[in-house]
Each structure stands twice: as C-alpha cells, then as structure tokens.
Amino acid sequence: MKTYRIMIGIALVATGLAGCKTNETDQSRVIGTPGLPSAKTTLDGKQLPPPVDDHFGGTIERNAIDSTPYWPPTVVAPKGKDAPNVLLIITDDAGYGVSSTFGGVIPTPALDRVANNGLRYTHFHSTAVCSPTRASLITGRNHHRMGTGAIPELSTGYPGYNCLMTKDKASVARILKGHGYVTSWFGKNHNTPDIQISKIGPYDQWPLGLGFDYFYGFMGGDTSQWQPGNLVRNTTYIHPYENEPGWNLVTAMADDAIDYMRTVDALSPDQPFFLYYAPGATHAPHHPTPEWIEKISKMELFNDGWHELRKTIFANQKKLGVIPQDAKLTPWPKDLIKEWDQVSEQEKKLFIKQANVFAAYVAYTDHEIGRVIQTVEDLGRLDNTLIIYITGDNGTSSEGGATGTPNEIASVQGLHLPVEAQMQYYDVWGSDQTYPHMSVGWTWAFGTPFSWTKMVCSHFGGTKQGTAISWPKVIKDKGGIRNQFHHVVDIAPTIMEATGVPLPEMIDGIAQDPMDGVSMLYTFDEQNADAPSTHKTQYFEMIGDHAIYHDGWILSTKVMRPPWDNSGKNYGDPSTWPWELYDLSKDWTQYNDVSAQYPEKVTELEKLFWEEAEKNQVLPMDTTTFTRSLLPRPNLSAGRSVFNYSGEVTGTPNGNAPNVLASSFNLKAEVVVPEGGAEGMLVTHGGRFAGYGFYLLKGKPTFTYNLLGMQRFKWEGAAALAPGKHTLEFDFQYDGLGAATLQYGSPSGLGQGGAGILKVDGQVVATKKIDKTIPMLMQWCESFDVGADTGSPVSDKDYKCPFRFTGTLDQLTLTIDRPELSPEDIKKLQDAMHANPAED
C-alpha cells in the first residue's frame, strides 16, 4: 500500500498536475494539487453550472495498479477562505418607528447590536407589501418583473401579477450555491403560487427550487406561531407542535437555524454560508409568549396613547440622528382615526393590551434573532459575516382596522367585532385562542414620523424600513449613519459584490436578465458616508397606489383608499388619481406637497413613471384587494366540481383545497365502524378561526361550521353509529348566487346563508338554516384534511388535533355546485369588482 501511494504521487508530478492551474476556457483556478480529492476550484461565473469539463488528468491502463486516478476539483467561493458569510434578516409588517434602533420604544437589542457594530440606513425602502418585497429582495429585480405585483392569493393573469417567478431571474441563493456557498432559508415563504403548494409539487418555486439547500418555515402570508398548519421542512409538511404545550415557532425557528449553522460549521468549517432568516413576526397573528407579554406590559410603554407615543418616537429619532433635525412630524389623520382623548376607557384598556402584545412580539422575535447572531459569533465567524437586518418588509399593518381584532381572518373580510365583544379575549390576547391584530391608531404611530401604513407605496409610512448592516472585517465606521436612497432590489447586488460573485450570463441553460438594483457596498467606506446615492430612480406601485422617486424628488399619488378598507369598493381609475410632489432634500417626511409650485417637475416625473411602468410590467393597475382572491387562478382544484378521497389525505394547502365558499356543496362519506365504535375527523378545511369539520364525536356524526370564530353552527346525529358500514352525508344549499357570479354587480352575493341537512344511511338526522357564511377566505394557514386534522380544531370544545378517524374511510366525495367560468365570465367578474365607485 505504501508503494502504491508513492507511485501515485510520482505519477501526479510527472504528469504536471501538482500546484495551481488555470483552465483557460473558463478562467477557473484550481487550488491545491489537481487530481487529488482535496483540490478546489473557483469559477468565472459566466455560466452556472459551468460547461462540462471532461478532461481526465490521470491515466487509464488495463488494471488499476498501472493507472493514475484523477478527481475533478470541488467548487469553492471566489474569495476562498476569505469569502464572507451572509446572514440576511427581514422581519414582517414593521414600520420605521417600531424598533429602538430607529427611535422606537420597543427594545430591539439584536438590531441595536448590528447597527452599533456597523451602519444604520435611514432611507431604505420596500415595495409596501410582503411577497413583492421578498421577491425583489432575493433576486435584485423589481417586483412586477418578478410577476409579484401583489401577493399570490391576489394574483391575476397578467405578466406583472401572475406570481410566476421565471427562471431567467435567478435568486442570489442560486448564484451563491453555484459558487460553493451552502444556502438556507428559515421562516416565511410567500412567493410560491398556489398550484405548486402541495405534497406533489412541483417544487421549482419552493425555496429548494430557488437555490436554497435547506428550508424550515411556513408557506403563505402568515401563520399561527402556536400551531402553524403550513409548516414545512424542505418539502415535507411537519407538525412538531402536536402534544407540545408552549411550543412557539419564533423560538423553534431560531433553534433550527442555530442547529443548522452548527452542523455546517462542523461538517465543512471552511465553507461560507448564505442564511436567509425571515420570521413571520410581526405580521398578525401577534403570538409572543406570556413571559414576553408580561415583561413588556410592566414597562407601560403605551399607557398615554398613540399621540404621546408619536412624540416620544419623534424625539428619539432626532436624538439618534436617524431623521434630520429639521424634519417635521406628519399630521394625524383626524378624519380617519380617532384622537386618543376621543377613545372610551374600555377602548383604551383593550388598545393598550393590543399594543403590549404587538410590542412583546417585536421584542421576543428580536431576542431570538439575537441568539442566531450570537451563534455566528460563537462559531468564530462574526468578523467575516455580512449581516443585513431589515425591520419589516413593508410598513406596519393596518389590517386590524379601527378597533383591532382577535381574529385577523375576519377583519380582512370586513367583519369587525365591537370592542365589548373583543373584551372577552382580553386575558388570552396573543395566545393560541386568538389570531390578533392591533388598532390602526398604533399602526400609524409605529410609522413615525411618516404618514400611512402597509399597502401604501406612495408615502413612506408604507415603504421606509429601518435597516442595519454590519461586516466587522470591512465596515470600520461603527455606529455610522447612511442617508442614501436605497431599495430592496439593492440587497442582492450588494451581496454579490461583497462575495465577489458575478451575475451569470446563463443559469441552467437559461439566459439571465440583468438586475435592477445597485450595490450598496460603496456606502461601507466611511469616506463615502455622504456620497450621492447610486440608486437614482425607483418606481412604486401597489394596488393602484403609485409613485416615482428620482434623484431626490418623489412624485406620489394621493392616497385614495385607506389600506384597511378591503370592501371591494372602486376608488376610480388610478391613472387619474391626483399627484403630490415632495422635494426630499428639504422635506424628509413628505410633509409639504409642492406640486403646485413645480408643475414642470410633475410633468417630467409623471412621464418617467409611465415609462418605468411600461418597462416593468406594472400595467394594468388594479385597485381591488381581497375580493380579487375570488378570481379563478391555476390550482389543483381548478375546473373540478367532484373530489374523491379514501383513507388519510392531509395537508392540502388552502390555495389548492376544494373551495365551498359562496356555493352549494355535498359531502358523502362511506365508512366502516369497528366493534367498540369510532370517532375522529372525516374531512375538515380551516380551523379555530374559520372553517368546517365533518366528524364522528363519541360515535355521533357531526358537522360544525365555524363562522370566523364568531359563531359555530352544529348539525349532530342523536345516536352513535353501530359497528358496520354506513353512508354519512352533509348537504348544504347556499342562498346567494355564488362566487361564480358575484351577481356581476357587487360582492353582496358573498357571505349569504343557507340550509344544511345531515343524513345517516339516507335518513335525515339533523337540519339547520344559518343566516351567514364565510365571505371570501378560510383560515389560510390551515389545510384541507381527510381522515385527520393537522392544525387547530374547528371546535375546541369537541376535540383536539390530530383527531384521526379510528374507523375505516372507504370513500369521501365532495361535490361543489360551482360552474367553471369562461373567459367572458371572468371579465364580467373583474368588471363587477370595479362597478361601484366609493363614496366620499
């Protein structure tokens, strides 16, 4: 054996393979001894994967003893051992005034740590809504070019809005992976279209299909942090919370990320990582642990109301230097939101509780992020890790409406509980018994000093995100402030310049579109602290609201739709909405509209907006919100009216589930009850906050309809089923004309009542008529399950999950009375959504 090793070494030297070698065809560089298993290579990156190199540097004779082996080198990052790690963090639904780092009263020590060890960015922007922001963030392209002009649930059949992210715009993760990085994604994924989100894929627009080696997170816009029914590891739905009281995704996600980083470091200590960390916080539901609620409540941060909160944040921001000293606090919208002294004592008590729970959620999440950052340091990698921490993918959310809600699924459908009714949830606010959101008064205050909120892209309350970046090895201006205009499209180019990785011309045989963003790396140099921004022009558009930034000016439409209005009203043609003009060099907060003073600038920028809109697939603009969710779009149930299942089939996500809303439907179950009886779930869709379930409860056939947690209607047989075969049937006749028509005039056909009949072996055992049904949306973070319930129960009084059926389910058939729409019908439906102008 010793002789054999010597012979191999002599042969390698003799064939000229020792040392470094450059492949002249692709300019890659071999590091180490070519042919040995330890040899490495870098790539020029023009094409990923690189062209096939079938060169064999060894020799092949008739037997191995006379031959010389040769291993192709392993790809490593361009900077080799000096390649930086990248930790990209983005939270959800948090405006500029939320964090202590940018003047807020809520403690965010992890963000403070990044800022104090690096730089604060005061003029960094999102798209105003989550999915669009995230698509731009990980690809460096404008959101309409990525097809994400809106969230997937509101997608429409236009290139800028279909949410189909095409392969000519690869993610930064895919590019880094091709250069030897190990890539991972933790948390929210709201960038996969409905038709792909199921157990059968396809997975090309899941995180693993977008270039990530590992994924632990949830599919969709939000989820319960206590029982996330849409939680996934890689491509498998998991339920680690079952039989685990106190389990919370905020901590579980940090634990998983920490374990993953430690594993990477143990197995491949020289390999750089790209870790994308995107918690669901602080999007509703606001689900911190009781300990954090208690901790924040004792601080009494919100007892004096939202006006005093704004004053405090505004003063803090000037002290920190994250707004100019001459900045003005934008006025309070008295015509839309009550003054604090107009709020009743009961309302104040409830609203303060809402704010405490939200703040606890912020602080809790930042604490867990801090654990992730600390792990980077514990592994000895902090000095050469580029950490980008963005607070919010848009401004703070106003989806709770004027009074907040214990159930966001109800509020976004225009259903709001009066404060008196909400008080019954006071003691459990933030627990798994609520899906809560705070009052819009707090939302507005957390956007201080700007106006408006999430969903508004024309004003900075919806787009300005406090951002901190550190890279100790490179950034020496610790605690510095940068005021250059930048946007989420700039993050991918920044990462690529930092890592020395170019944008490939081809990836997987597909020519790549250029990125729209520019690198922010120039701002890392203290000499460029006050350099002009290299991002000169940026359009904005969201749900009709639109604006154009150009070289220190922003032309913004007047906000015509309060972002918490999801009624489906038409606010007119957005191309005719009035313009407002702001000179940001003198007016940091968009306080003074100077459009009347500079009409020529308005004309110039308006022309530029329409040019950018044409170039970036912004047209046609659509002002509808959640009513748009009723439009047909590709999914696994499209065009079907009959669905058949047998045995246990769980985990069909909401977007692919058979949709019974605004329709008549029939459920028929063929079951076998064993000796001793049976119980358990036959079929369910939704959960604790909206949905239905058809099950055996102590042997009795039961159908429960959960109307957004406000009422539960139950049909129940009088007797337990005897052993043997049975046919169970629930038939529901809907009173309205249905989602297929929306009466072609308004959404008034939604949420109508109907009559239900429960049958056992052909005999009627229960009948009931109900006045209302769920209008538009089931509980979106829960799935459609047959034979078990994998999320939260539709009735906590009746059962606990997973409530598997203990008999045999031979056949379950769901028949929905909803005709497939023709293209002409769809056009009528779209026209109907825009039919009624909004009242003043």
Cα–Cα distances (Å) from 8 to 3, 5, 15, 58, 70, in that order, read 9, 5, 11, 10, 10
> What is d(CA 298, CA 285) in angstroms, rounded to the nearest whole number?
22
Residue 830 pLDDT > 80: no
> What is d(CA 367, CA 647) in angstroms, rounded to the nearest whole number?
43
pLDDT band per the 50, 70, 90 thresholds, residue 17: very low
Domain 635-833, classified CATH 2.60.120.200, yes or no: yes
Same fold, 92-548 and 549-628: no
| Beta strands, E only, 115-211 | 119-121, 124-125, 182-189
Residue 15 pLDDT > 60: no
**Structural domain 92-548, CATH architecture:** 3-Layer(aba) Sandwich (3.40)
Enumerate long-range contacts of 450-453, CB under 8 Å, 24 or more apart: 450/95, 450/96, 450/330, 450/395, 450/589, 450/590, 451/330, 451/331, 451/333, 451/589, 451/590, 452/395, 452/559, 452/563, 453/95, 453/395, 453/396, 453/397, 453/398, 453/563, 453/564
C-alpha angle with apex 788: 786 to 789, nearest 5 degrees? 105
> What is d(CA 383, CA 474) in angstroms, rounded to the nearest whole number?
9
Residue 422 pLDDT > 60: yes
3-state secondary structure at position 156: coil
Cα–Cα distances (Å) from 351 to 98, 401, 436, 718, in that order, read 17, 12, 12, 44
Nearest to 83 by CA among 32, 129, 40, 145: 40
The residues, any chain, with a CB within 8 Å of residue 200's CB and separated by 6 or more, are none
Which phi and psi (to 5°) does residue 785 adopt? Answer: -125, 140
Q: Provide the residue type at 665 as one letter.
A: F
pLDDT band per the 50, 70, 90 thresholds, residue 9: very low
Which phi and psi (to 5°) does residue 80 adopt? Answer: 60, -130
User: What is the pTM for the complete model shown?
Assistant: 0.93
Positive or negative, the Cα torsion across 246, 250, 251, 255?
A: positive
Fold of 549-628: Arylsulfatase, C-terminal domain (3.30.1120)
pLDDT band per the 50, 70, 90 thresholds, residue 221: very high
Q: Are the C-beta atoms of residues 686 and 704 closer than 8 Å to each other?
A: no
Q: Where are the domains of the chain?
A: 1-42, 92-548, 549-628, 635-833
Q: How many CA atoms lie within 13 A of 132 on its CB side?
A: 31
pLDDT digits (tens, 9 = 90+) for 789-809: 998 999 999 999 999 999 999
CA dihedral 105, 109, 113, 114 (to 10 degrees): -70
Higher pLDDT, 159 or 3: 159
3-state secondary structure at position 573: coil
Q: Are the C-beta atoms of residues 423 and 353 closer than 8 Å to each other?
A: no
pLDDT band per the 50, 70, 90 thresholds, residue 627: confident
User: What is the average per-residue pLDDT within 392-415?
Assistant: 94
Residue 690 pLDDT > 90: yes
pLDDT digits (tens, 9 = 90+) for 373-399: 999 999 999 999 999 999 999 999 999
3-state secondary structure at position 513: coil
Task: Report the pLDDT value the prediction gives residue 562, as an integer from 0 to 100.
Answer: 94
Do strands 47-48 and 506-507 pair parallel, antiparallel, or not at all (unpaired)?
parallel
Do strands 808-817 and 74-75 pair parallel, antiparallel, or not at all (unpaired)?
unpaired
Place of tokens 């991918």: 492
Which phi and psi (to 5°) does residue 411 adopt? Answer: -65, -35
Q: For the chain, what is the mean pLDDT?
A: 92
Residue 3: in which H helix or E strand, if any?
A: helix 2-14
Nearest to 778 by CA among 377, 35, 229, 98: 229
In DSSP terms, which residues pair with 759 in a beta bridge?
729, 764
Residue 292 pLDDT > 70: yes
Q: Percent of the chain, pLDDT > 70? A: 92
Q: Percent of the chain, pLDDT > 90? A: 83
User: What is the average per-residue pLDDT within 302-308?
Assistant: 98
Task: Report the pLDDT value the prediction gives residue 629, as an integer from 0 to 100.
Answer: 79
pLDDT digits (tens, 9 = 90+) for 232-281: 999 999 999 998 999 999 999 999 999 999 999 999 999 999 999 999 99
Residue 25 pLDDT > 80: no
Task: Report the pLDDT value the prediction gives residue 436, as an integer from 0 to 100.
Answer: 98
Q: Which letter does DSSP use for residue 106 in this model?
A: B
R_g over Cα of the chain: 29
C-alpha angle with apex 434: 433 to 439, nearest 5 degrees? 160
In DSSP terms, which residues pair with 193 in a beta bridge?
none
Task: Report the pLDDT value the prediction gives residue 1, as an integer from 0 to 100.
Answer: 39
Place of tokens 């999440």: 365
Q: Are the C-beta atoms of residues 785 and 683 closer than 8 Å to each other?
A: yes
Task: Report the pLDDT value the prediction gives residue 14, as an integer from 0 to 100.
Answer: 37
Which phi and psi (to 5°) does residue 196 adopt? Answer: -95, -15
Residue 840 pLDDT > 50: no
Helix 109-116 × helix 345-378 angle, to 10°: 50
Length of the chain: 840
Task: Report the pLDDT value the prediction gives residue 751, as an integer from 0 to 100.
Answer: 86
Lowest-confidence pick of 317-321, 542-546, 678-682, 830-834: 830-834
Q: Are the C-beta atoms of residues 709 and 686 closer than 8 Å to each other?
A: no
Task: Report the pLDDT value the prediction gives residue 828, as an integer from 0 to 100.
Answer: 62
Q: Are the C-beta atoms of residues 393 and 432 closer than 8 Å to each other?
A: no
Residue 4 pLDDT > 50: no
**Quick one: tokens of 67?**
């031959």
